[in-house]
Amino acid sequence: MAPQKETITNSLANVIQVIQLGWKSGVLIVERGEGATFEEGMITFVNGQAVEALTASFNGQKALLWLSSWGTCRYAFIPTQTSEIPSIPAPVSTPTFEQGMTDTRKHPRIPISPLRESAARRQASNGRTGQINSLMPASVVPHLVKSLEESLHRVEQLGLSRQHRRLLLLVDGQRNIADMVRLIGRTQYEIQQLLVDLEQAEIIRS
């Protein structure tokens, strides 16, 4: 699947409404500002219902309300089949949201990292970090090392790409590489490259 082209809107609430009225399923990725003012967020929809929302500062209902207040911004909607969205939580508009969502700040650390091992093997075989010779199992589940806000700040400090930031928003300790491939719309090879970069920057652990 080719990466989705960004579109500019004057009201993100209107975009959200169109998705809801159209009973669409997929991931809405949004961003605004540049440099120090750059903000990014993500909303997951299932049959027009928002089931997950994330920003650097909020998650769940607060994130959805914050994103709905955005005026001019850039967005890309990545359609998915309902069956492709794993572990569908409770809708963010219901009181059961807090039980249905995952707290991205409390992921356990895994002592052995397949991604880090893959990077080490790549360095040993190539003597450089530019290529990945083998794919990790699609079932590998990355976790955040720190809070989402700290992780996004680290990405900005290191000058990593917007694709790194977008992928980081999907790291919730539940989604595996296969899920991310479907939601981001890139190949497993490309997703693994981005994950290895984040792993080497000590932003995530798998």
CB 76 within 8 A of CB 29: yes
Kindly report, residue by residue over 83-106, the tens digit of the pLDDT. 444 444 545 553 333 333 334 333
* DSSP of 152-187: HHHHHHHT--HHHHHHHHH-SSS--HHHHHHHHTS-
Same domain, 62 and 125: no
Same domain, 187 and 132: yes
Domain-located, residue 1:
no
**Rounded Cα–Cα distance for residues 36 and 193 (Å):** 26
**pLDDT (mean) for 137-141:** 86
Same domain, 156 and 193: yes
Domain-located, residue 153:
yes
> Which residue type occupies 65?
L
Domain-located, residue 69:
yes
Same domain, 83 and 125: no
Domain-located, residue 64:
yes
Domain-located, residue 105:
no
Same domain, 69 and 120: no
Chosen domain end from 56, 73, 100: 100
Tell me the CA end-to-end span of the chain in Å, nearest whole number.
25
Same domain, 80 and 128: no
* DSSP of 100-145: HS--TT-PPPPSS-HHHHHHHHHHHHHSSSS---SPPPTT---EES
Same domain, 74 and 159: no
Task: Provide the domain limits for residue 138.
Answer: 114-205
Same domain, 12 and 84: yes
Domain-located, residue 109:
no
Q: How many domains does the chain have?
A: 2
Chosen domain end from 100, 132, 147: 100
Same domain, 76 and 161: no
Same domain, 77 and 152: no
Burial-class residue 88 by CB neighbours within 10 Å (0-12, 13-18, 19+).
middle
The mean pLDDT of the chain is 76
Mapping DSSP to helix (H, G, I), strand (E, B) and coil, where does residue 83 land? helix
Sheet harboring 26-32: ordered strands across?
A: 7-9, 73-79, 26-32, 39-46, 49-55
Q: How many CA atoms lie within 13 A of 44 on its CB side?
A: 29
**pLDDT (mean) for 123-152:** 71
Domain-located, residue 148:
yes
**Rounded Cα–Cα distance for residues 91 and 59 (Å):** 12
Domain-located, residue 108:
no
Indicate the pLDDT class of residue 69, thresholds 50, 70 and 90.
very high
Q: State yes or no: pLDDT of 60 exceeds 90.
A: no
Chosen domain end from 100, 122, 146: 100
Same domain, 125 and 80: no
Instruction: Give the pLDDT confidence score for residue 4 in this predicted structure.
Output: 52
Same domain, 92 and 12: yes
User: For a pLDDT cut of 90, what percent of the chain falls above it?
Assistant: 18
Token digits for 94?
Answer: 């219901």
**pLDDT (mean) for 196-206:** 88
CB 41 within 8 A of CB 55: yes
Strand partners, 73: 9
